[in-house]
Amino acid sequence: MTYCVGVKVNEGLLFASDSRTNAGVDSVATYHKLFVFPQPGERLIVVMTAGNLAVTQEVITRLQQGLQTDDPFSNLLLARTMFDATMMVGGLLRRVIDRDRAYVQSFGADVSSSFIVGGQIAGDEPRLFLVYPAGNFIESEPATPYFQLGETKYGKPILERILNPQTTLAQVAKCALLSFDGTIKANLSVDLPIDVLIYKANSLSVGRHQEISNGDRYFADVCSAWSDGLLHVFDSIPNPPWAADDA
């Protein structure tokens, strides 16, 4: 299973993904799911993946091979806009799935895959997109400044409560790590390490790219503080009057 989060706020973008793939208890492995396509001073494009590993790896490989061409419809570094870059990802995904679906499904496997694509190209603002398994996609809006992939339900509540366009990137990073903490606690198929990339708007370069591994002191401290804080707030809230012994 996978968990990825992409967030767009006024200060910029944050991308975070776990690094675990799980095909059963005897087949757990680590694979990167966050890929960076930089062109300093001109653009930064980030792609995160979830779903069928063979499908997502082929899409990423074809995107990387496209960097060697002069075709603006195949080379992410020649795409005119982030919309065009996302169309490139969605089109590749559709072609791979259309080719392989019948064969893969005949073995009882699922070809469904999805992507988060975000970044900034000079002359445009930072943008964030969610690519569905069909290859179509949507763009984030101020009312919902984030997208998730994979095991989304456990980490969603804190994102809903905390994130808005005014949230700072440092706060977004803290919120994203706590979202991962909730997901890791609830689903053993999601685990460290976590890839985190923070992009500052208009920098047009990779900002902070951090790996959160087992033993990371800040991650342990923030998760412990969050758990203690939740227990404190829970204890401070009155019990329902109708649940009292003498009700």
**Residue 30 belongs to domain spanning:** 3-214
Residue pair 112/120 in contact by the 8 Å Cβ criterion: no
Question: Which residues does 100 contact at the CB level (< 8 Å), separation at least 6?
Answer: 54, 55, 111
| 193 found inside a domain | yes
The pLDDT value recorded for residue 19 is: 87
Tens digit of each residue's pLDDT (9 = 90 or more) over 97-149: 999 999 899 999 999 999 999 999 999 999 999 999 999 999 999 999 999 99
Tens digit of each residue's pLDDT (9 = 90 or more) over 48-59: 999 999 999 999
Find tokens 């990423």 and name the residue.
60
| 49 found inside a domain | yes
The pLDDT value recorded for residue 46 is: 99
SS3 171: helix
CA distance 175 to 88: 30
| 105 found inside a domain | yes
| 58 found inside a domain | yes
Residue pair 129/146 in contact by the 8 Å Cβ criterion: no
Question: What are the structure tokens assigned to 55, written together?
Answer: 């499908």
Q: Which residues of the chain have pLDDT under 70?
A: 21-30, 247
| 226 found inside a domain | no
| 241 found inside a domain | no
| 166 found inside a domain | yes
Q: What is the CATH number of the domain that holds 137?
A: 3.60.20.10
Q: Hey, how many other C-beta atoms are within 10 angstroms of the C-beta on 185?
A: 13
Residue pair 176/196 in contact by the 8 Å Cβ criterion: yes
| 87 found inside a domain | yes
The pLDDT value recorded for residue 245 is: 78
What amino acid occupies position 236? S
Task: Indicate the number of domains in the chain.
Answer: 1
